[in-house]
Amino acid sequence: MKLLKINRLEEINTRFSTSSLEKTAFFQSVEKMKMTRSFQEEKFSESGPGTEDKKFVKPADHRVAARDDTPTPPAPFDHRIVSAKRVGISNYYNVNEDEILGGGRFGQVHKCEEKATGLKLAAKIIKAQGPKQKDEVKNEINVMNQLNHVNLIQLYDAFESKNDIVLVMEYVEGGELFDRIIDENYNLTEMDTISFIKQICKGIQYMHQMYILHLDLKPENILCVNREANQIKIIDFGLARRYKPREKLRVNFGTPEFLAPEVVNYEFVSFPTDMWSLGVIAYMLLTGLSPFLGDDDNETLNNILACNWDFEDEEFRDVSDEAKDFISKLLIKEKCWRLSATAALKHPWLTDHKLHFRLQAFVRYNLTPLVGLQ
């Protein structure tokens, strides 16, 4: 049995100089971003014909999510084109200030209910006092107005006041995907990871077809629909940008561990920038480890620029070769060589039914994969 523990990664906005790795970090918390790892292994062997070479794992007594291919449910309302109303949100919604669903650099998310219909929703309250801040939030509204996909959280309404803008969105109750990575009582298998990555890919594919770059993909920005199934929705389009091929786009923001090399170098970004982040997420889901995390932010950024990562950790011992190949085709410094979202969805790791059958069998019988079967 393997237990991995990772301290919560604090969200940081970073600005980089193009000549060096010097940066200014604006912390939402002064807590140092670190990761600690601890694991225990218990091996059980059985004697008898045909069992000498097999490795058995003690049956787990922790919670395992339902494994099924049930499609992610759409929002409980039709897609809308929203503009911010200059009236108080309390005229239309009851906002539960005591029930905080999440928070970050922007403010907080509360559970709310529409008075007229009783529809349960989420109210994202964003502190925005100056014109520049309000324009940034209105960019998020504009982006969400263009995105109509089951794996992308949907916008329902918006309100603007002197000091903030409130986005009323689809409500899901399963919590962040990050929480499943760090939950010692959740047995996150490779098949679970395949299910999550496939859905994230579909969401990214749709965004890219709409010429939208997310630019802040990470486990904290992926929500589970409920606490049992493996259905997800991508959230937080606050840093998203419309991609215009003729207008070279550079960005100087993001969360250090998930930044692509071109962001660190303040070079042009495009669709492959999101795919790098997907590779980091896949690595984390499979192992509980962050591939580029250093002792401090500068070391993390140096690791990214050097593309310094490998499969040598023991956590990769039982990971399939197909999974390793998938990651290897995303964590490539030259962005033109990375898989597109469409190509990623066709990769054997996400499509090979024989592989999936073997992985499901290992879970069903509490077997770890044999090297010869990979």
Binding site for ATP, by residue number, is 124
Task: Please provide the distance, in angstroms rounded to a whole number, between the alpha carbons at the two ends of the chain.
Answer: 21
Q: Are strands 93-103 and 120-127 parallel, antiparallel or unpaired?
A: unpaired
How many whole angstroms from its chain centre is CA 183? 16
Contact 213, 240 (CB under 8 A): yes
Token reading at 145: 């107005």
Contact 108, 166 (CB under 8 A): no
Instruction: Please state the residue numbers annotated as binding site.
Output: 124
Token reading at 354: 């024989």
Q: Are strands 232-234 and 222-224 parallel, antiparallel or unpaired?
A: antiparallel
* Alpha-helical regions (H) of 245-331: 261-264, 271-287, 297-305, 321-328
The one-letter amino acid at 342: T
Catalytic residues: 216
| Cα separation, 239 vs 132, whole angstroms | 14
* 100: β partners: 110
Token reading at 39: 């694991």
| Cα separation, 184 vs 4, whole angstroms | 7
Token reading at 327: 């990651």
Residue 301: name the closest of 19, 13, 23 by CA.
23
